[in-house]
Structure 1
């Protein structure tokens, strides 16, 4: 017999180390052709930070996105990044990039003020140009500025750093720790069909919504939401290194026996969305939330299984064997 059920899960996830103390740095330089090199230690592992950080730099400098190149080829010689983990890069490195771009813009204004014989406060950097406010004839393209600066013996580099606050420890009595940077929130609803004769679970529909602060790139958010859903389904139903833990019998030794979800295993109906509540300390209001996209599908699926067949499977993954054992125990 096949039975259907619906389950829900909610969650929250911090950006960066929960107690703070995880800084990032950035550096951006003006090149002779008027384009920019952004140096930063963050590693793009598929979450899209090379796009996001370029977007932030381009926005602050008011230049085209294609005029920014992100360089992170050597973490030993480049600006420091605590690491690409803990959903921290958009928040920490994004703020560092904004600070570096603002620093470079200030230096461009100072150089242009000397060239135009005016106050730096009267110089505007906008629309890929540098000009004196209200004086149209005193204007240079960014390409002209890059050539004049570099071939004139100058080297304009902006630097920036950000940390949400000094590191702190858990309270030994209560376990309390203040979340320093930001918290993102999410909700997942799963509809499943459980075959009570075989124990096989099919996920029919999955809905995930995340509060992300301000989305820097909606398409990247969609990819993250759907990719995280695939990981969450695997976590909930198939992925298991030690199926009889603490016994190591039949432990997985290579990926041949480690069952991960593929596109063929995705639900027929998938819905993803975001809610935007700009964070006051986030870069342009953004938060980090990526890891949470993989955290919610599993518990929602287990709750849906309980709703369908009336028994709890409390260990991940909810394999057919575990479901049949739970049903048998309920009948005993």
Structure 2
């Protein structure tokens, strides 16, 4: 499971600490090599540059074999005032890296626990390809917060991309119970299934419906012959991607203007939008034709009535309108 990433990733933070440690080591080598005449080597001879590197390494790591030691008062003073503080800084960098890794793991576990305890009535999107991404963008365009959307995809690269976009993302096969449980599908309000294969969509629908008997499930399939199977598996609505695309192509050939209008309706945020909204207090008792929006249908309780249905009559409190209006 991945949450939205911070600005600097863990590898970048470790690289920064490693660069700082190497800088401290280089500074220590320079100090020791500059005062090499004040050091005594048990092997005899003056300190070479390699000896300075060796002494700096064992000194900063607090190993201290004792084969190279400062014997002049000046170099002992330099060790006290410069090398010792550098050793402390070096240890802080190493210990700080370890503590940061442990703290990050603890923080991540706490974040997941807090997220699980507070998450409910969210939306789970299975498959973050073109269809899943478009569904997420539409939900966000209608006011849903990104943290209320959980993405499930088997591709680790896609999961990382979803986390980079601000979504909570789960890596795994959504046909497995444990993967959907990590996405808290049991407490989800809606589930969008945008799998790449129809058979995968069927299995995911069956698994999701088993874990959540009340959530609304919207599934996408390529072939129309699989629609009844998806409905039997528990999907509330099934969108046929290939059939819809074919109808759009045919409509655009017969009437380019009609095809353009339909494409406008399907593109959220520009031109015309198809929305569902509640009937306002001032609209109760009026007919759909008397409203400012172009009403296509009215949802009354569990029934969906066309705008010209004789049973519809005047609008009632609690009705919901499916209407076309111009995007702002």
Q: Which has the higher helix share?
A: 2
The answer to whether TM tops 0.5 is: no
TM-score (norm 2): 0.29
Q: Which has the larger radius of gyration?
A: 2
Structure with the bigger RCO (C-alpha within 8 Å, sep 6+) is 1
Q: Which has the higher strand share?
A: 1
TM-score (norm 1): 0.29
